[in-house]
Structure 1
Amino acid sequence: MQVFLLKRNLRLQDSDPFYEAMRGYRRFGPVLPLYIHEPSIIRQPDICLQHQNFIFETLDELSQEIRSIGGKLLELVGEAVPTLDVIHQIAPIARICTHQETTQGVQYERDKAVRKWCSRNSVKLVEFQQDGVVRAGCRDQKKQTFPEYFADSVNRELKDPGGIDLGVRFASTPLPSAPRVTIPRAQGYDRPFRQRGGRSEAEKLFKDFFSVGSINSYPFKLSSPNTAWEGCSRISAYLSYGIVSDRAVMKAIDDVVSSGHSYMDAAAFEKLQGRARFYLDRLMWRRNYLQMFEDDPTLEHRHALSQFDGVRISDREDPLFKAWQSGRTGFPFIDACVRCLKETGWLNMRGRAAITSFATMNLWHDSLNVAAFLAGEFLDYMPGIHWPIIQVVSGTASPQNGIMVYCPMKQALDHDKDGVFIRKYVPELSDLQAPHIHDLSRTTNHLSDLARRSGFLPYPAPIVDHIATARVAKKRVSYLQKGKVEVLSQDHESSSTSSVQLGLL
């Protein structure tokens, strides 16, 4: 028997491990699709109930897909190695086909344990590359430039088994699937307005977004939270859990460009190509971050630049950090972004950078603590992207990335000038119009009648002087990035991190 092991590769379409398992059923035996709900991973602090429920929804739909082509998905609860051991004793496993993952340490250790188990039990393990990421030490994997990877992706047939009766190639389930009530509950809470799991939801987004009109308008809509909700593809969560492949996205972009070529004049087509490349740049960055984390997975636990160790505030109980987490900083745009996350699990890229910059620069909090909190807030949390990009924004990754300090007032005026986004997520200010909604002297202690009736407290005063704290942060980050640890430490000792010295109100 073979096992098609599902982890963050929750799809049948364009799935190399599924195709390989099906192709080799005569040699290695029928195929058992398997998902293991692992308590040790569910209990991890970066896993939240919204992630778990998104996975449940995806598995429910995937189970129906598998059933429609003649198979059955087996869901079990337990750690990977003991679970495989039980299955192996009942129905010997000849081969496991799965995806290679770029993920957090606990899952990477799980994968290593599975490899050892396979070696001990003479089970062939086949792990397929995902997202074009190359694993260190794998001689059969070749690094490709992004243009090479893109060309391979769009010229490749994306296989879809839908509508084909493959019943003879599927194995009978050796055990009954575990009832959902037996699966440990992840921490935290679900988001009331988050995206739903499942491939059908991803396909709706593909249909809505991948058109000439959407690609042409994308560069002009992604920065404002008011336009990004409809102007972005919103497929990040479906990519994070492997519900769709990055190759499918690239092919969809290529199809849009090809359709435009069929009727556009030269000038219009050139603009379309440029805007398609603008979108593809984001996929390239995504792949680069994944490769960065694959090359150095310790970024989950340490700063890439060691000189940042111990210099930022690490107290997670700090009242200022708590105020940021709860969306009560006194800066309406920052608070709207945080509260949007708490309701939807999603925020556009500019908003993510703004709240990360505020926490690590204006509040001077450690980037690892900031990343740990945001991991649970982002529905599309993908470790291989999340941990590196937080370090880039906070300045701890590399001097080449520069210093990213996003002024909260400038972000509000540039991307929510009329205050539409702020009024939606900060009800205390719902009766304030622009420009007053951007005037901190007017927002301090303000409370709309609507918010009062709903039990809200008056809106707080700004918890920091954003200009003074940004100035200090830029100086400190610049020193640290240049390796001037001694200069910084002396400055740090003299100025301290007290509210007075940092310019906090």
Structure 2
Amino acid sequence: MHLVWLKKDLRLSDHAPWHAAIAAARESKGCVAALYCLEPKLIKQPDSAPQHFEFARECLQELAEQLPEHVPLLLAKANAPVSLQTMALCCQQLSIYSHEETGNWASFARDKEVKALCANHAVPWFEFPNNAVVRKLENRDEWGKLWLETMRKPVLPAPEFSELPQTTWFDFPQNLQQQLEANGLPCVQLNCSLWPQWAQYVHFYPKHLTDKTLRQRGGRQQAQRCLSEFLSERGMNYRFEMSSPLSAESACSRLSPYLAFGVISIREVLEVLGQARQQLAESDLPPKAQTQWKQSLKSFESRLHWHCHFIQKLESEPELEFRSAHRGLNAMRNFSELSPEENQKALAWIEGRTGFPMVDACMRMLRATGWVNFRMRAMLVAFASYQLWLDWRHTAPMLAREFLDYEPGIHYPQFQMQSGVTGINTLRIYNPVKQAKDHDPNGVFIRRWIPELKNIPNPWIGEPWNTPQLIQQECGCVIGVDYPWPVVDPDTAISKARSNITEFRHRKGFVEESKRVYEKHGSRNPNRNGNNRGSPRPRNNKRPDEPEIETDSQQSLF
């Protein structure tokens, strides 16, 4: 049995494990199957949510339909180590093929357990790099070249399943139950028709967590349609419209969930992007339109590069899920159990009732759809970390549950970046009132998601607490009754946050630790860092205790 273990690579194209398993099966006259595990340990993690679960189901259903009958997709209702151990007991000889995964700490521990299991049972496990993330990378100096080398390799086509044994089902031993009990294992059901039973796993989630009816649908066809529409229609003004929540919903590619679940690879997207550029060069569009497209496509491509750049950080240091990159900033905020006051602030933030309309509108959109654009994500994180002064280790899992495109390798490094705990990034303390004026001056977006404020006049839509009392009554929206007062005083909260950060950034050893973080994780892009070698030289005459190495953009969204 040559088993392709699927994790977050739910596709056939550009999939090295599929090709390796099929080639080995042809040579050994063996059979091929795919395995996906419904893992209670992962489902119960604080960053998991029903929308992730259901999106994966939609992707798997479409994938199963693409497989011939003699190549089953097995769904195991158990954690991966138990499922794979069961397969090892069932098969005379088992080989496992999978992509390397840069997931959360729980998946990291799971993979280490599987590695030990394979060693104990003499089961070969062949792992292949995923996108351009490098396992055991020594340093970042040559990573950019490695990325280019990987992305310039041809896209692997969907595999051919011909010449494989035409077995319609894997023949399990009759005494499987006895074998399992003798080895102290629970009975694991392996079945390729588990779709009706999928819903049984929703009970692992708290009742207040539900699927999002307005989210994007899963599946490769949806991903390809999304990419095609973006490159032919929606993406023309991407560079200029991706910052505003009003325009970003259609101007962005919306590929991020499909990339997060591996329905399509970065290399495949780049290949289609190259074709779009060629078509653009041969088109008869006016020069202005051509320029707009070229700028937008260039901006989009840079985000594909940064996608792997951020995931590489978590791959190189898995502890970034629960430890600040800059060790000296680990204690800047309180990470003990939240106080009642802090808990109330956190709940107001995640439920979209902070009293700051731009924050609340973005959070309500996110909770309804699983998506909001990159700048508003940055604002949500910064607001929680600065104005509310909540530790990122409390708020990061909360927001991970809301993102349909949650990718741990992007989520945690960027959460730290926006929370000011990397020591190598420019601080960005977003003013929600200014964001409303800049990106929603007429309150269209705010009124869409906060109907309580629909009658508040434009001058006060971003700061309704300043609306005269008489006008509040005329509008039918009294602040503190129909819509909450701000959970914090905006000016006082920002001033206090700046003071706290300044105190920590002037502590002894801050600069030395920042240099260590840069050497391990910093971008070596010479254009970005201002010199040919990409050394961490502060820019714009900044003090040495304020190194600015990378940008603040939220690259998880395309």
Q: Quick check: TM above 0.5?
A: yes
What is the letter of the counterpart of residue 40 of structure 1? K
- The equivalent residue for 2:403 is 378
Specify the SS of the correspondent of 1:74.
strand
Distance 1:444 1:335, change over 3 A: farther
Specify the SS of the correspondent of 2:37.
strand
Correspondence 1:32 to 2:33: yes
Separation in structure 2 between the aligned mates of residue 184 and residue 284 of structure 1, nearest angstrom: 35
What is the letter of the counterpart of residue 436 of structure 1? W
TM-fit CA distance, 1:166 = 6.7
Specify the SS of the correspondent of 2:76.
strand
TM-fit CA distance, 1:247 = 0.8
After TM superposition, the score normalised by the length of structure 2 is 0.79
Note the alpha carbon deviations across 1:296-336, whole angstroms, 9 max, x for none.
11011111222333332441642222211211111100000
Specify the SS of the correspondent of 2:309.
helix
- The equivalent residue for 2:187 is none
2:191 is matched with which residue: 171, 176, 195?
176
- The equivalent residue for 1:489 is none
- The equivalent residue for 2:214 is 193
Correspondence 1:256 to 2:256: no
More divergent stretch after superposition (332-341 vs 176-185): 176-185
What is the letter of the counterpart of residue 180 of structure 1? W
Separation in structure 2 between the aligned mates of residue 326 and residue 76 of structure 1, nearest angstrom: 35
- Long gaps (5+) in structure 1: 487-505
Separation in structure 1 between the aligned mates of residue 156 and residue 474 of structure 2, nearest angstrom: 53
Specify the SS of the correspondent of 1:126.
strand
Separation in structure 2 between the aligned mates of residue 335 and residue 216 of structure 1, nearest angstrom: 29
Specify the SS of the correspondent of 1:290.
helix
- The equivalent residue for 1:23 is 23
Distance 1:134 1:96, change over 3 A: same
1:479 is matched with which residue: 475, 491, 503?
503
Correspondence 1:277 to 2:278: no
Distance 1:305 1:167, change over 3 A: same
Q: Which residues of 2 match residues 305-454 of structure 1 at below 5 A?
A: 305-314=326-335, 315=338, 317=340, 318=342, 319-398=344-423, 400-441=424-465
Note the alpha carbon deviations across 1:56-78, whole angstroms, 9 max, x for none.
111111111224x7522110111
TM-fit CA distance, 1:171 = 7.2
- The equivalent residue for 2:147 is 149
TM-fit CA distance, 1:6 = 0.4
Correspondence 1:300 to 2:321: yes
More divergent stretch after superposition (36-45 vs 463-472): 463-472
Distance 1:208 1:450, change over 3 A: farther
Separation in structure 2 between the aligned mates of residue 444 and residue 117 of structure 1, nearest angstrom: 68
Contact 1:205 1:235 in 2 (8 A): yes
Specify the SS of the correspondent of 2:409.
helix
Note the alpha carbon deviations across 1:125-176, whole angstroms, 9 max, x for none.
11111120111169xx9986446534642551341248x7576477733443
More divergent stretch after superposition (3-12 vs 474-483): 474-483
TM-fit CA distance, 1:478 = 3.1
TM-fit CA distance, 1:100 = 0.1
Contact 2:102 2:314 in 1 (8 A): yes
- Long gaps (5+) in structure 2: 173-189, 511-558
Distance 1:485 1:444, change over 3 A: farther
- The equivalent residue for 2:556 is none
Distance 1:416 1:394, change over 3 A: same
Equivalent pairs: percent with the same residue? 32
What is the letter of the counterpart of residue 393 of structure 2? L
TM-fit CA distance, 1:268 = 6.4
Aligned length: 477
TM-fit CA distance, 1:186 = 4.1
Correspondence 1:85 to 2:85: yes
After TM superposition, the score normalised by the length of structure 1 is 0.87
Specify the SS of the correspondent of 1:219.
helix
Separation in structure 1 between the aligned mates of residue 219 and residue 473 of structure 2, nearest angstrom: 40
Specify the SS of the correspondent of 1:471.
helix
- The equivalent residue for 1:47 is 48
Distance 1:115 1:447, change over 3 A: farther
Specify the SS of the correspondent of 1:133.
coil
